[in-house]
Structure 1
Amino acid sequence: MRVLVTGAAGFIGYHVAQALLARGIEVVGVDDLNTYYDVRLKQARLARLGAGFTFHKLDIADHEAVMRLGDGVEVIVHVAAQAGVRYSLEQPFAYAASNLTGHLSILELARHTPGVKHLIYASSSSVYGTGSALPYAEDARADQPSSLYAATKRADELMSKSYTHLFGLKQTGLRFFTVYGPWGRPDMAYFGFAEAICAGKPVTLYDEGRLKRDFTYIDDIVAGIMGVFDHPPEDAAPHRLFNIGNNRAEYVTDLVRLLEEGLGRSAVTVNLPKPEADPVETCADVSALGALCGYAPTTPLEVGIPRFVAWYLRWREMRAAA
């Protein structure tokens, strides 16, 4: 079996590729290795993917290049995207290229590759905006995005739904909540907090850290993705959307406390008002995914953050020695 993983050098894509390879599945990985964050981290992830893994450096917005990737592919796990809510205020066209044109490229690849049985793609909890009732459920309104990033991810869902209607593509969209863990993304708050604490620089807390997030450990995320992989859509419901999170909202201040404990240093904090695009709280209703494949996250923040810290300290040593 051959699976195409887009964003294979990224945080989630790398871990999914690892899980697939552990099953003896051949993985074709794609990533453009852009400079949104430290390319050395992306290259280090790729270096850990051994036998059975083939890598192609390309931009998924390059339609012609993407169309050459379909040979033998049966499943596509599409997690490549331009991430980040605030960065979309600075580089909006990067989101149009990666999240819209790139997603369309993958849809066209799936459409024109007869062997593709299932397309699993990444959406985001950001599609719920700032006014949805908690916990967020898949049938809640998702038509009031508070950022360009959120708008592109909702557009991806609608594009996928149209391709299922027109061409019968079997697809599953996953609305990711706040994912964290070893080999994570430096632009994420928990990673940035760790960097700041170690450097003795201020950690910015919004509304005095009273914001709450559904922090989900990477191993739980991968278990959910593999559950979807093992339970493809049926003919009666060829396009599906699922939340994939922890079903538990925790204070950002608790995250900082656990980082302080793990790093053995106190954080210097600065308080600012909450940005307009940021929700006060996020929490995922994961009952639908649980009903499909038994998805049940098992890693609390008290366990996951120490694991991240242990990896992070090793990564700092590796960077210093390079």
Structure 2
Amino acid sequence: MTVRETIRREMAQLTASERKVGNAVLADYPFGALQTIQELAERTGVSAPSITRFVSKIGFAGYQEFQRQLITELREGGRSPLDLKASERLGNSTTFLADYAQRIGERLAEMAAAVPQEQFDRIVALVADPARSVFLLGGRISDSIAALLAIHLKQIRPKVHQLPPNPEHWPDRLLQMRKQDVLILFDFRRYQPDLAQLAGMVAAKRHPSIVLITDKWMSPIARHSDHVVALPIEIETAWDTVVCAIAFIEALIVKVSEADWPTTKKRLEAWDELRLGRPGKAMEEEP
């Protein structure tokens, strides 16, 4: 369990001052607690002894141990396949596929338990709102997930834009972005600095709602995001899994399409009418 998860679990047991510290840490996680206890006290208006009691209540012997755990989480966020290979557990090669499928099922169950339905519903409402444009971008690998979501959303609704991979081409899209719009970013461990820079600039200058899809160690983009979805990715191999991210966006596609099904149906029908290679088209046009 990450420090973030622990704070959320214990929040109801904290005093008002301790909750203030917890909320400050979560609001800029994990960076908000990687400062001295005096600096955190000054920023939150809570005394240093109250911060000490806070870290004790969430299970740490002291502020230094609390910070060490946060630093450990930051290191986890930078682990590569070469690092993960050292702790790989492949199991029996003759049943690997079945074992892997079981692990996938376990990760999906973790996702279902970890992502609140209320959070999912809020994101669906944002993406389904026809008054909002939706912009999407991912990292070196996760941009393929952003592309998959964009392809489906474009069939459901207009004003869906996937940002190009070259940052030099971003300003054209960013100039179209308004305060009521939505920016969905995908960023998993070995986080990309350019995506964090983009999120910070967009949050400061264009002010859309930013939705981040990440892992439990949290992309730095989280500090600029309005909605953060932390998904399980560990699967005890050298390669993290993106199955939970795919499942999440598939669920999102289904619910967005159902938000206004009559409109979705009309768009799909019109879309199919304009497809040059749709099945049966050549046959229909034969004399």
Under a length normalisation based on structure 2, what TM-score does the superposition of the two structures give? Answer: 0.31
Task: From the CA coordinates, give the structure whose radius of gyration is larger.
Answer: 2
Compare the two structures and name the one with the higher strand fraction: 1
Compare the two structures and name the one with the higher helix fraction: 2
